[in-house]
Structure 1
Amino acid sequence: MLRTMLLPIAALALAANQSAAPTIADVAFMAGEWGATDADGWTIEHWSQPAGGTMMGYAMSGDDSVTFREFLRIAPDAEGTLALVVTGVDLTPVAFTLTETAPNRVTFEAPEHDYPQKISYMRDGDVMVATISMADGSNPSTWEYRRR
């Protein structure tokens, strides 16, 4: 009888550990246009609504003219894991694999990349915070965006 009772409990525990892989819906909170302005100039980051399992984005900053720009894509990689692919001014794409998700929070990592190795986004209402850093969290740079 005890064995009969333990089998369903073991099956539930196994199912809980095999939670579904994150999907584009888990990062949809990023959609929209976000911006910040300070003494150094302005920064804009724009993310499309999810479509076909993908989100497209761009980031740019400047003062009187654009001084920085990059193109962004979140989509499943060859193994089906969500990845953030960043293509900077030199046109070399860098893939950051999704490593953590929580409601309105996501982290992507590329430990082999020089800098950054980690990119995180967290949204609270009309504020989204983007942080880049080394894999261990050192050397962080953070932007606090407001919905535009």
Structure 2
Amino acid sequence: MQRLISLISVAILVFFGQSTLNTAKASCTTLSQLDWILGTWQTQPDGNTQETWYKISEDTFSGIGSSRNSAGKLQQQESMRLVQMQSDLFYLAKVGHNSMPIPFRVTKCAENSVTFENPTHDFPNKLVYMRTKNKMHVAVSGFNNKGFDVHYQLASQD
């Protein structure tokens, strides 16, 4: 497991090392500034779409996202990680149709919002998480105005 994390870290550094994003430096420099994302979030009133985030260590949060149909059958699932590497923060998405996690770098960060971007990924290339009290809005977007929004409510604080 440690070897896999090391390989992913090297891939991220190589991938983003030469990348130039046309955005200002993110103001978040530690993962603790994103503690507000921790817990179980689900769509209301059905609860069919859910994200759960756990703190693994000071520099790693682990998440699982899932969608179910109205009968409760699992339709889609992905694992996610938020990792701190030096003064950069990354969102890593692992979905079934990709053999390796897809890295997104934090490009903007405020008290209750964070933007992750990967301008070379086909879709999505931008994820924006925004929290207001016990609600969280996630905007998933790509090129040509392609995208969707998910509105969550905090189900529990894990």
> Could you state the TM-score of these two structures normalised by the residue count of structure 2?
0.73
Choose which of 41, 47, 53 in structure 1 pairs with 2:53.
47
User: Cα–Cα, structure 1 residues 121 and 111, in superposed 2: closer, same or farther, change >3 Å?
Assistant: same
Aligned to 2:147: 140
Segments of structure 1 that go 5 or more residues without pairing to the other structure are 1-17
**Greater RCO, CA 8 A, separation 6+:** 2
Kept after mapping to 1: 8 A contact 2:27/2:108: no
Is 1:123 aligned with 2:131? yes
Q: For 1:42-95, what per-residue CA distance to the aligned partner results, in whole angstroms no more than 9, with x for missing partners?
A: 101001136231110010001131010000000024x64100000001243100
Is 1:95 aligned with 2:95? no
Q: For 2:96 and 2:27, how far apart are their aligned partners in 1?
A: 35
Aligned to 2:22: none
Kept after mapping to 2: 8 A contact 1:70/1:86: yes
Q: For 1:125 and 1:101, how far apart are their aligned partners in 2?
A: 17
Letter in structure 1 aligned against 2:105: T
Choose which of 60, 71, 75 in structure 2 pairs with 1:67.
75
Q: For 1:27 and 1:115, how far apart are their aligned partners in 2?
A: 24
User: Cα–Cα, structure 1 residues 119 and 76, in superposed 2: closer, same or farther, change >3 Å?
Assistant: same
How much is the aligned-residue C-alpha RMSD, in angstroms? 2.4
Segments of structure 2 that go 5 or more residues without pairing to the other structure are 1-24
Kept after mapping to 2: 8 A contact 1:111/1:135: no
Runs of 4+ deviating beyond 3 Å: 18-21
Kept after mapping to 2: 8 A contact 1:119/1:132: yes
User: Cα–Cα, structure 1 residues 67 and 98, in superposed 2: closer, same or farther, change >3 Å?
Assistant: same
User: Cα–Cα, structure 1 residues 37 and 95, in superposed 2: closer, same or farther, change >3 Å?
Assistant: same
Percent identity of equivalent pairs: 26
Aligned to 1:15: none
> Could you state the TM-score of these two structures normalised by the residue count of structure 1?
0.77
User: Cα–Cα, structure 1 residues 68 and 19, in superposed 2: closer, same or farther, change >3 Å?
Assistant: closer
Larger radius of gyration: 1
Kept after mapping to 2: 8 A contact 1:128/1:144: yes
